[in-house]
């Protein structure tokens, strides 16, 4: 029991927090997300278009004063690392306004350091000496988080590949149906043409 309690305490007090979600972005739409961060926080922003259209989206990240920290048009996926310079509400927006009919599904992962408290995030406490058990527990927590990230990206790649395969299968189905219809129409036309060659011609009455 003495070994389990420190492990749970270290896992629960992990200094890395994340906002992870998957959402649908309609055509001609713009959607924003907000997060309040302290100054001096290391943050990693990542996104990927899972399905829809040409698998691209406009992404913009701004600081509390509206300064653009990251801006990329029509990207399928990207990762951006930055350190907050001031306390306030940071905003990230995704735009699909250039698309007229394609809805898109987007995955977003926003990770940052800090201790969560009521009312926001406070800076981490001063470093303290860690025992070998504490260090091992922290290493396990970091590796579990890495495994979770790998699994998430694997699911995203699988979903993207499945969607593309389904789209390709649908296109092949319609192409095959069109080819079949053309062959049937040509066959009927050839039969009618041959029948017209061998049809008995009647002599005009005098």
How far is Cα 89 from Cα 117, in angstroms, rounded to an integer? 16
Contacts of 108 (CB under 8 A, 6+ apart): 19, 20, 21, 22, 23, 33, 45, 46, 47, 92, 94
Partnered with residue 75 across adjacent β-strands are 57
The one-digit pLDDT tens for each residue of the chain (206 residues) are 333 333 333 334 445 677 788 889 998 899 999 999 999 989 988 998 988 888 889 999 999 999 999 999 999 889 999 999 999 999 999 999 888 888 888 988 888 876 433 334 444 445 555 687 877 777 887 788 777 777 777 777 777 777 778 878 888 999 999 999 999 999 898 888 888 877 766 655 54
104 closest CA partner among 112, 94, 113, 114: 94
Backbone angle region of 119, left / alpha / beta, with phi > 0 → left and psi within -120 to 50 → alpha = left
What's 79's DSSP letter?
E
pTM to 2 decimals?
0.60
* Inter-CA distances, 42 with 56, 81, 146, 156, Å: 27, 8, 17, 25
Which pLDDT score is estimated for 139?
80
Domain spans of the chain, in order of start? 15-124
CATH class of the structural domain 15-124:
mainly beta
pLDDT score for 119? 37
């Amino acid at each position: 029991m003495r070994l389990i309690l420190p492990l749970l305490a270290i896992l629960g007090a992990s200094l890395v927090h994340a906002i992870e979600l998957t959402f649908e972005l309609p055509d001609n739409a713009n959607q924003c997300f907000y997060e309040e961060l302290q100054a001096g926080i290391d943050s990693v922003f990542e996104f990927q278009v899972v399905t829809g259209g040409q698998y691209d989206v406009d992404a913009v990240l701004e600081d509390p004063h509206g300064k653009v920290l990251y801006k990329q048009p029509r990207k399928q996926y990207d990762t951006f690392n930055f350190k907050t310079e001031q306390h306030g509400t940071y905003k990230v927006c995704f735009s699909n306004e250039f698309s007229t009919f394609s809805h898109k599904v987007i995955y977003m992962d926003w990770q940052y350091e800090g201790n969560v408290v009521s009312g926001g995030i406070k800076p981490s406490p001063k470093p303290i000496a860690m025992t070998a058990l504490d260090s091992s527990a922290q290493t396990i927590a970091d590796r579990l988080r890495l495994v979770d990230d790998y699994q998430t990206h694997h699911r995203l790649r699988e979903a993207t590949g499945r969607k593309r395969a389904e789209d390709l299968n649908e296109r092949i189905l319609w192409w095959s149906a069109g080819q079949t219809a053309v062959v049937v129409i040509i066959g009927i036309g050839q039969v009618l043409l041959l029948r017209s060659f061998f049809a008995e011609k009647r002599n005009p009455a005098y």
